[in-house]
Amino acid sequence: MQIIRDKDHKTDVLKTVPASEGFRMPGEYEEHKGCVLIWPVRPGTFTNCGKEAKITFTVIARAIAESEEVYLLCDKDHYNEVTNIFAEDLNIKIINIETNDSWARDTGPTCVIDKSGEVRGISWKFNAWGGEYDGLYTDYELDDKAAVRICEELKLRCYELKDFVLEGGSIHSDGEGTLLVTAPCLLSKGRNPGLSKEEIEAVLKDYLGVKKIIWLPRGIAGDETNEHVDNICAFVRPGEVVLAWTEDPSDIQYGPSNECMEFLKKEKDAKGRTFKIHKLPIPKKPVCITKEELEALSFEPGEDIREEGERLAASYVNFYISNNGVIFPQFGDENDKIAVEIISKVFPDRKIYPVNARSIIVGGGNIHCITQQIPGRSDKY
C-alpha cells in the first residue's frame, strides 16, 4: 500500500483500492457513528441566505442527534451563530470547514468499512454536477476539498480519486454487494465522458466493494443532478427498495417511474434475490418555486438560475435513515400523510420524523442530499 502525506493533508491519503483490502460500502440502514451536515448560507441556493433553511436544518440535526452524532460544518463567519444555536446539544459537534454549498451527500466522503470495523472515506472528484458541460455553479473548489477535510477532522484514512467524478446521491448500496445508480446521471457527459459504462462499473466495484450494479433507466423528471438515484429509488434493507411512484398518466413522472418498475422486476441483486418494491407516491400536486421564493434568492455569475413556476424534484424517497429513525420530507401535500404511513410500515422499528422540507427543495435537493452518514459503532448508543 502506498500512503502519501503532504502539507495539504493531515490524514493518510491511500493509493490503493478499498475492495482489495476487504472494504465495502455498507447500507444506510446499518449502524452509524454519525452524520455530516453543512450549515446552509448560499444565497443562490437557499432563500434569504438560508434564513428559512437554517430552521429546517436545525430540526433535522436534532432529530438525527437523538441516535447518532452530528458533525455540522460551517465557515468562520457563521461559527458563533451555529455554536449558540446548538449550545445545549451535546451530540452535535461543530466543525469549522468552509464549503461552497450545503449538499453533504455529494461533497462529503463516501465511507467504506471492513470486517474489523475500520472506516475509511472516499473523496471523489466534485464538479458541481457537470462542470463546464452542465454544472450548476462555477466555483466549487471548496466543495471539492470537503471530503478530505472531513476525513482529517474525523481521523479517517482516505482514498482520493482526483479524476473520477461522482456524487454520493448518485449511488445507493444494500451493503451486500449491490449498488443502485441511474444511467442518465453516471453516463452524463459532464462527469466521466472519457470512460465507458464498463470502466465506470470497474471503478465503483473497486472502491465500493460491490459485485453487481443496477443501472436504473430514469430518475425523477426535472432533477438538475441528471437524475440522482436517491430521488427515485432507495434500499430499505437488502433485497427491498422504495420507488417513487405516481398513478397519474398525465404526470411527467409517470413514464420514468413505470420504466424503473419494469426494469427492477426483471433484475436480481448480487445475492440472486428478486426485489421487493414498495411504491412511494410523489406529491400529488407538483412542487414549484414561487415568485416570492425566487425574489429571496441571489444568484452568482455562472450559477444556474431558477424560474418562477419551475417544477422542483420533490420526492419522498429522499429521506435519511438514522440509527433509530427515518428523517422524512414533507411538502404540504395531501400525499404527505400517505407517504408517512407507507414508510412507517417499511420501517416498523424506527421512529419516523416528518419534516417540512420546503426550504430545502427550493435549493434543488432534499433531506438525503444534505446528509452523509459515517458508518461505525456509536459511542453513545
| Cα dihedral value 288, 293, 298, 299, nearest 10 | 0
Residue 24's DSSP bridge partners are 113
Question: What cell does 271 get?
Answer: 445475492
Contact (CB, 8 A) for 151 and 157: yes
For 20-86, the DSSP string reads: GGT-BPPPTTS-EEEEEEE----TTTSGGGGHHHHHHHHHHHHHHTTTSEEEEEE-GGGHHHHHHHT
Cα distance between residue 63 and residue 252, in whole Å: 33
Cα distance between residue 325 and residue 235, in whole Å: 15
The active-site residue out of 35, 158, 233, 369 is 369
Contact (CB, 8 A) for 104 and 370: yes
Contact (CB, 8 A) for 166 and 226: no
Cα distance between residue 40 and residue 57, in whole Å: 8
Nearest residue to 172 via CA among 236, 124, 113, 123: 236
Cα distance between residue 37 and residue 318, in whole Å: 15
Contact (CB, 8 A) for 192 and 165: yes
Distant-in-sequence, close-in-space partners of 356: CB < 8 Å, separation ≥ 6: 56, 330, 331, 332
Check if 158 is active-site: no
Q: Which residues are catalytic?
A: 369
